[in-house]
Amino acid sequence: MKERGDDERLIDLKEQVAEFPHSPGVYIMKDSSSRVIYVGKAVDLRKRAGSYFIGEKDIKTRFLVQRIASIEYIVTANEYEALVLENNLIKQWTPRYNVNLKDGKSYPVIRITADEFPRVFRTRRIVRDGSEYFGPYPDARSVDRYLELIERLFPLRKCKGKLKKRDTPCLYYHIGRCRAPCVGKISREDYAREVDRVRKLLSGATEELISDLKAEMEEAAADLKFEKAASLRDSIAAVVSVEEGQQVQDFQEESRDYLAVATAGRFASFAVMQMRGGKLVGRELYGNVSPQDEEELLFDFLLQYYTPDHRPPEIIYLSHRVNKALLGEFFSSQGWTECSVEVPEEGRHRSIVHMALENASMDVQKRQKASANLPALEELRIVLGLGSLPRRIEGFDIAHLAGKHTVASLVSFYNGNPDKKNYRSFNIRSLKGEIDDFQAMREAMARRYTRVLNEGLPRPDLVVIDGGKGQLNAALEIIRGLGLEEVAVIGLAKKNEEIFLPGRSDPVSLPETAEALKVLQAVRDESHRFATSLSRRQRSSDLHLGRLTGIPGIGERRAAALIQEFGGIDGLSAASYEDLRNRGRLPEAVAERVVAEFSAKKPDSGN
């Protein structure tokens, strides 16, 4: 049953709408804080605004109506003027329940620095210092493919900051992952040529890049430099392979976009597949919370997605029908007269629209799943007295083995679900074999949140420490010292599942069935699992290094390089003598000792 106050609110809203004219225009919905939460256009303002309060509505509309405190309107001369005004107001106010392209995602980009000897790496931050950026890449795996290829074919320096002269090259040079400009192993001109090739690869000028490599290969062959020619041949094959692996291709040269919308409950997702020069060159996803129908959502998305700086292509294929006449009038007013809009019924274009629709459907289901924990987060907000929902939670734990291999884990949860791409680990440096969990916690917290401040990373809404009052105080010492008092920090002890809060001597206990407690337990248990696995892995790594450094001719640096090259001790133990000589770059005698070491340790097969 509704509260009386809610009944009065709805009566008042209906009375407001009853005064609206039967004219085209824009209606503006506001919440109790006078914030604009939705802007809509109408041919008949009274009928359209009044429809929100008549009959049964779907969950999206009910969700919006629950939050409306007042409605205003602006009359326009016709439907087209209403469309233009609606579009402008949405861009000005970015209402919560309108289509909003700023969905909070920060996609990775690849950066080439502006240094004399540039570096290339992945980042999510744009620094205006003359660096070049390529992307963004909605699919982070494509970043990994590019960087792996660049490291193999055009290895640039890894060291951060200004290039410093060295007497000897670092480990990356010895394993073929750097040209070592720091010791003059490559000239400035040759290094610049490598950077230019990276630039061509990332900008899509692969045909030009392949042409350059072929010319150099032919020149090397003519000079009887057959090893260099073979290496360039392999580079060409790798570039062709990565290009073919990332593109869907056809023989139609016109530029096309394929747009689809999918909804689930009150959530909506949009997918855009971009075809340029007959190749699928990009996929973008956007999310939103909106009460509109899918046709209205897609129409409004089109108005905001294309801008003077991002003009529409020659053809746009859609998953749903929209008001083409009105859209065409808007596009014409922007000078976009060469664009046609279609809803394909069959054939290849329908298949690509279906692909976009599948992408949108998977994304909206993921968003809906992420919202399932919101009631628990609201309960947690109330229990802890927080000002807003603790959407981003970070958890810490310390692990060691009898004082050795001390590590700290950081796990990240977003909307109550693990956010594993933001997990971090810390090898504790300030302890020399002693057992001091409080000092380990201070070091981990200091390193994490100093970086958060320095790099402008998102701050958590809540930090959960695995432990009691002592661990909590150690964490608070760092948080307060860094001026991050707005970040809430609590401790969760395993004994009796007690919650320790700053400034309170007695812990707080929640019922075992409380959803808020289950969220905290999930964070605490995951941080403990991650820390324990890190400590064990470090111990295993040290044992492997110790085994290798026990072989004459292998020191710590060479042992680390071998493990990296062969992907771990298992790959190294399976390596042949030839692999150790060629890939591992070991002298004959050392390679023989490594083969003998691992052959001697292998169990008898029984044959």
* 102 domain-assigned: no
Residue 378 has pLDDT above 50, yes or no: yes
Res. 237 pLDDT band, cuts 50 70 90: confident
The domain containing residue 18 runs over which residues?
4-93
CA pair distance 56, 54, nearest whole angstrom: 7
Q: Mean pLDDT throughout 495-520? A: 91
Burial class (CB in 10 A: 0-12, 13-18, 19+), 205: middle
First to last CA, the chain: 79
pLDDT of residue 101: 61
Based on the fold, state whether residues 340 and 441 are members of the same structural domain: no
- Of 371, 393, 412, the residue that ends a domain is 371
Based on the fold, state whether residues 560 and 517 are members of the same structural domain: no
Q: Mean pLDDT throughout 359-367? A: 86
* pLDDT tens readout for residues 316-356: 999 999 999 999 999 999 989 889 999 998 877 888 898 88
pLDDT of residue 523: 96
pLDDT of residue 41: 92
Based on the fold, state whether residues 348 and 406 are members of the same structural domain: no
Q: Tell me how many degrees the CA angle 145-148-152 measures, rounded to the nearest 5.
A: 140
pLDDT of residue 372: 80
% of the chain at pLDDT higher than 90: 34
Q: Mean pLDDT throughout 418-438? A: 85
Res. 537 pLDDT band, cuts 50 70 90: confident
Task: Tell me the C-alpha to C-alpha distance, in Å, between residue 330 and each of 98, 214, 304, 334.
Answer: 19, 48, 11, 7
Which has more confidence, 233 or 476? 476
* 596 domain-assigned: yes
Q: What is the CATH number of the domain that holds 27?
A: 3.40.1440.10
Q: What is the CATH number of the domain that holds 576?
A: 1.10.150.20
DSSP 16: H
Least confident piece of the model among 216-225, 401-410, 416-425, 575-584? 401-410
Q: Amino acid identity, residue 469?
A: K
pLDDT of residue 104: 42
Residue 395 has pLDDT above 60, yes or no: yes
Residue 607 has pLDDT above 60, yes or no: no
pLDDT of residue 520: 96
pLDDT of residue 84: 78
Based on the fold, state whether residues 451 and 395 are members of the same structural domain: yes
Based on the fold, state whether residues 275 and 353 are members of the same structural domain: yes
Residue 227 has pLDDT above 80, yes or no: yes
Tokens standing for 107?
């996609």
Residue 244 has pLDDT above 60, yes or no: no
Q: Amino acid identity, residue 549?
A: T
pTM: 0.45
Res. 64 pLDDT band, cuts 50 70 90: confident
CA pair distance 345, 253, nearest whole angstrom: 21
* 62 domain-assigned: yes
Based on the fold, state whether residues 179 and 86 are members of the same structural domain: no
Based on the fold, state whether residues 144 and 235 are members of the same structural domain: yes
Contact present, 390 and 381 (Cβ < 8 Å):
yes
pLDDT of residue 600: 60
* 544 domain-assigned: no
- Of 93, 125, 142, the residue that ends a domain is 93
- Of 344, 371, 398, the residue that ends a domain is 371
Q: Tell me how many degrees the CA angle 382-385-386 measures, rounded to the nearest 5.
A: 95
* pLDDT tens readout for residues 158-186: 888 788 888 888 888 888 888 899 988 99
Based on the fold, state whether residues 264 and 293 are members of the same structural domain: yes
User: Total structural domains in the chain?
Assistant: 5
CA pair distance 322, 434, nearest whole angstrom: 68
* pLDDT tens readout for residues 251-295: 466 788 999 999 988 889 999 988 876 666 667 888 887 777 899
Based on the fold, state whether residues 294 and 361 are members of the same structural domain: yes
Contact present, 172 and 564 (Cβ < 8 Å):
no
Based on the fold, state whether residues 320 and 284 are members of the same structural domain: yes
pLDDT of residue 50: 94
Q: Which residues of 83-120 are buried (b: 16+ CB within 10 A; e: fewer)?
A: bbbbbebbeeeebbbbbbeeeeeeebbbbbbeeebbbb
Which has more confidence, 273 or 443? 443
* 173 domain-assigned: yes
pLDDT of residue 481: 94
CA pair distance 19, 48, nearest whole angstrom: 13
pLDDT of residue 459: 93
* 21 domain-assigned: yes
Tokens standing for 17?
């709408």
| Strand pairing report for 340-342 and 315-318 | parallel
* 163 domain-assigned: yes
% of the chain at pLDDT higher than 70: 90
Residue 153 has pLDDT above 90, yes or no: no
Most confident of 59-63, 146-150, 487-491, 563-567: 487-491
Mean pLDDT of the chain, nearest integer: 84
Based on the fold, state whether residues 278 and 330 are members of the same structural domain: yes
Residue 246 has pLDDT above 60, yes or no: no
Q: What is the CATH number of the domain that holds 438?
A: 3.30.420.340
pLDDT of residue 43: 92
Q: Amino acid identity, residue 478?
A: I
Based on the fold, state whether residues 41 and 174 are members of the same structural domain: no
* 309 domain-assigned: yes
Q: Mean pLDDT throughout 207-224? A: 87
